[in-house]
Structure 1
Amino acid sequence: MINPQPDLIDDIRARFAHVDACPFQGERVFFENAGGALTLKSVVETSAKFAAIPDNPGRDNPAGQAAVEIIARAKNDMAVFFNAPGGQFIAGESGTELLFRLIGAACLGTPEGGRVLSSSLEHPATRSAADRYAPISGKAHVLVAHDNSTGSIDAAAYKPEITPDTRVATILHTSPVTGMAVDVAAIAATIRETAPDCYIIVDGIQHAAHGRLDLAALDIDGYVISPYKVFSRHGYGIAWLSDRLAALPHDGLMGAPGAPWELGTRDAGAYAAFSDVVDYFDWLGGRVSDHDDRRARIVAAGEAIHAQEKALTEALLRGAGNLPGLASYEGVTIIGGIDNPRREGLVSFAYEGLEATKIVAALNEAGIRTHVRKADHYSGNILSPLGMESCVRVSLCHYNTEAEVIRFLAAMRDIMRA
């Protein structure tokens, strides 16, 4: 499915800022969505509106009380969007900061000894937090090796390393380097078989933009996203905490009623901007389905997003518009393989004999925004085992079009010839 309704893709793109042009570069194709998705125009308007309001939430005045209501509405919207089974939502500085806080509290709040379990697939946000807090809390930090061939990891890989004293486990929902998703529910169920009280915390930062979030089906304790990667803006993160994780000792102000997790005055505009994101999913679900229920529309939106992105990445790999796809070129390596059902809107590749930085620069000259991933502290865990120093990451989102993929393929044809 590329576009079941002739006008739908135009209506979708009309809701995003800078969809086809950069204010600094001019006209361009945006295939750098994994680095930060496009921003909804409604989010831009909401952010500007709330940036001008001087009143703090909770003050005894109309603006302060309105801010409290806006935050409460946003948390209700989050509960529907994530399909959260109770618990609570909090906002923080960033997704990375929130992962550190949740993982730190889980490590320090559980008995000394035992294990903190992570995987080599994970972003350094979770690996670094586990590496810091495991030794402080007297625990061993154990890394489970991911599958280089699939660019993912499964429950079978975790199982041999799960012990009854596994206190904390971290899981990556989707890799920002390979683009491959992970079956979080299966891994969590496998952990609970042996360590039922383990605190399981998930990095959903890369996954959230692709929809299909269902925390009730995962049996976990924490889930973190970065809203700028799901059509909102920079400057904040969102975390969901189960009731038992929220009850652990954590940083907070002495004597604060209810032992809140949030530190300092909240930005009501950040919360309101996430309500805009949920409203967008709701709108899209109404365009691709006839459901009356809001959650059902959000689920339908996620399914449509997945289908669109699958079609786009297949065109990127197989070819479109009489142009060959990336997979047809000799000397091209597709990370995670060509036929991989785990793929979520992202293709990372390397071309023998031409540095990734040069490919990205050439694509940029052609007006196509992509990104280079290097074997550094961000991506070395993925690239180094493959013997790769770098790769080109092409990350798409549902608002991208087949015409943009064809433009990319034409540019790659010219780069390969040169």
Structure 2
Amino acid sequence: MLQETPGLIDAIRARFAHVESCPFQGKRIFFENAGGALTLNSVVETSAKFAAIPDNQGRDNTASHALVDIIDKAKSDLSVFMNASSGQFFVGESGTELLFRVIRTACVNAPKGSKVIGSSIEHPASRSAARRWAEVAGLNYVSVPHCDATGLVTAEDYGALMTPDVSVATILHGSPVTGMGMDVAAISRAIRDVAPDCFIIVDGIQHAAHGQLDIDSYNVDGYAISPYKVFSRHGYGIAWISDRLTAQPHDQLIDAPTDGWEFGTRDTGAYATMSDVVTYFDWLGSQLSDTTDRRARIEVAGHAIHAYETHLTSAMINGTGNLPGLRDMDHISILAGPDNPAREGLISITVRDLPSAEVVTRLNEQGIRTHTRKADHYSGNVLTPLGLSDCIRISLCHYNTEHEVAQLLAALNDMAN
């Protein structure tokens, strides 16, 4: 694991900007990664470099040709990173915007009167898009209820409501509220067993930073990520779509190539920073394996990230050193339970007799950055059934340390009343 390789955690942290301090607040511990992960130093440098370049793609000059090559390289890098042997990648405004576009296209091309299926655990990025475009396209929306106790929706849950007339399906890969990862491949199989031609679109925004991405194994038609949550920067999203979804009639310019899904001139720097992200995963895998295969190194990195983050969340839940864990603090309640193997680097809690916003403020005053999730249009689908108006989200990534976990536990332990 990462912590067992001498010097590796320090080497990892050295590759990220603002690991230990905020440019506005000063020294702090960053447990707000689900709101946006730390940014690679290489991404910062690449962003500055491309912000200064005046040329665009599609022109007959040396700079333009170079920009096209950089974009092509990034798409190739993404196909290795996400293990997509077919289909295409493209950039949009954000992960949410891309989910809306892809889901809209699937819905408006579906047979009238057919069904769209999704789950109640989903982030509104996919759930709102599916419900809106089902209504516009004259489709029937089917909601698969998630389990409040585990924070999960399963293949069996989908299978129980599947019928052959389901034409579009949405799946959440990782929940930004419960922190649980769904078994996308199993859910996809349950859908295709009943409706083999269904278009399946996955929200991978929360999951992407926490382990494997393996599109070929999912048998889906769309997958979207937000790069600022996987060590790149704000301002764009990345989508992958299958060849058959690519070929569906979709929004595009008159007489434009039928396989084009992007609008206007894209930011070459956005693509280039994704190459930086893939290079980072490749580097991390090379520190843990002697394999010369790039995809294999990326897989090694993904498994190591997941294992280390499980180690950190276990320390948070069960305690570290002489500090009690969250499960042993009587004033703390853990959403989706303390013993949940689906957890991916995120724990949401409540503190007895303290509003979550006050807890977040008190932690922030001690230099520990967390976040309040409220029972609003973002998180009400998860919190309201639990009878909660809010919770505290503690989200980490593989550059966090057990020492930082200990400082959080000490601060929360002191809030007993």
1:321, distance to aligned residue in structure 2 (A): 2.2
User: Is 1:296 equivalent to 2:296 in the alignment?
Assistant: yes
Q: Which runs of 4+ in 1 moved over 6 A?
A: none
Q: Distance in 1 between matches of 2:120 and 2:97?
A: 20
1:257, distance to aligned residue in structure 2 (A): 2.4
Query: Partner of 1:202 in structure 2?
Result: 202
Instruction: Verify the 8 A CA contact 2:120 2:146 in the aligned structure 1.
Output: yes
Query: Partner of 2:184 in structure 1?
Result: 184
Question: Within 5 Å, which residues of 2 pair with 1:218-367?
Answer: 218-367=218-367
Determine helix, strand or coil for the equivalent of 1:304.
helix
Q: Distance in 1 between matches of 2:264 and 2:170?
A: 27
Structure 1 runs not aligned, ≥5 long = none
Q: Residue deviations 1:127-158, cap 9 Å, x none?
A: 11011100111101111100111101101111
Q: Distance in 1 between matches of 2:85 and 2:177?
A: 30
1:2, distance to aligned residue in structure 2 (A): 5.9
Moved more, 67-76 or 255-264: 255-264
Equivalent AA in structure 2 for residue 122 of structure 1? E
Q: Distance in 2 between matches of 1:43 and 1:321?
A: 36
Equivalent AA in structure 2 for residue 265 of structure 1? T
Determine helix, strand or coil for the equivalent of 2:271.
helix
Equivalent AA in structure 1 for residue 54 of structure 2? P
Determine helix, strand or coil for the equivalent of 2:239.
strand
Moved more, 218-227 or 252-261: 252-261
Q: Residue deviations 1:23-74, cap 9 Å, x none?
A: 0000000000000000000000000000000100121111111000000000
Query: Partner of 2:51 in structure 1?
Result: 51
1:258, distance to aligned residue in structure 2 (A): 3.7
Q: Distance in 1 between matches of 2:386 and 2:290?
A: 46
Query: Partner of 1:17 in structure 2?
Result: 17
Determine helix, strand or coil for the equivalent of 2:171.
strand
Q: Distance in 1 between matches of 2:290 and 2:131?
A: 47
Instruction: Verify the 8 A CA contact 2:2 2:305 in the aligned structure 1.
Output: no
Instruction: Verify the 8 A CA contact 1:89 1:238 in the aligned structure 2.
Output: yes
Equivalent AA in structure 2 for residue 10 of structure 1? D
Instruction: Verify the 8 A CA contact 1:122 1:175 in the aligned structure 2.
Output: yes
Equivalent AA in structure 2 for residue 378 of structure 1? Y
Q: Distance in 2 between matches of 1:83 and 1:146?
A: 28
Percent of aligned pairs with the same amino acid: 63
Instruction: Verify the 8 A CA contact 2:203 2:223 in the aligned structure 1.
Output: yes
User: Is 1:72 equivalent to 2:52 in the alignment?
Assistant: no
Equivalent AA in structure 1 for residue 195 of structure 2? A
Query: Partner of 2:86 in structure 1?
Result: 86
Equivalent AA in structure 2 for residue 346 of structure 1? L
Query: Partner of 1:103 in structure 2?
Result: 103
Q: Distance in 2 between matches of 1:404 and 1:332?
A: 19
Determine helix, strand or coil for the equivalent of 2:415.
helix
1:290, distance to aligned residue in structure 2 (A): 1.2
Instruction: Verify the 8 A CA contact 1:2 1:402 in the aligned structure 2.
Output: no
Instruction: Verify the 8 A CA contact 2:348 2:391 in the aligned structure 1.
Output: yes
Q: Residue deviations 1:103-137, cap 9 Å, x none?
A: 00000011111110010000000111011100111
Instruction: Verify the 8 A CA contact 1:178 1:335 in the aligned structure 2.
Output: yes
Query: Partner of 2:398 in structure 1?
Result: 398
Q: Distance in 1 between matches of 2:290 and 2:147?
A: 40
Equivalent AA in structure 1 for residue 401 of structure 2? T
Instruction: Verify the 8 A CA contact 1:204 1:223 in the aligned structure 2.
Output: yes
Q: Distance in 2 between matches of 1:128 and 1:187?
A: 20
User: Is 1:40 equivalent to 2:40 in the alignment?
Assistant: yes
User: Is 1:171 equivalent to 2:171 in the alignment?
Assistant: yes
Determine helix, strand or coil for the equivalent of 1:153.
coil
Instruction: Verify the 8 A CA contact 2:227 2:234 in the aligned structure 1.
Output: yes
Q: Distance in 2 between matches of 1:158 and 1:184?
A: 11
Determine helix, strand or coil for the equivalent of 1:3.
helix
Q: Distance in 2 between matches of 1:122 and 1:416?
A: 33
Q: Residue deviations 1:238-289, cap 9 Å, x none?
A: 0000000111111111111244100110111000000000000000000011
Instruction: Verify the 8 A CA contact 1:188 1:218 in the aligned structure 2.
Output: yes
Equivalent AA in structure 2 for residue 230 of structure 1? V
1:291, distance to aligned residue in structure 2 (A): 1.1
Determine helix, strand or coil for the equivalent of 2:232.
coil
1:408, distance to aligned residue in structure 2 (A): 0.6
Structure 2 runs not aligned, ≥5 long = none
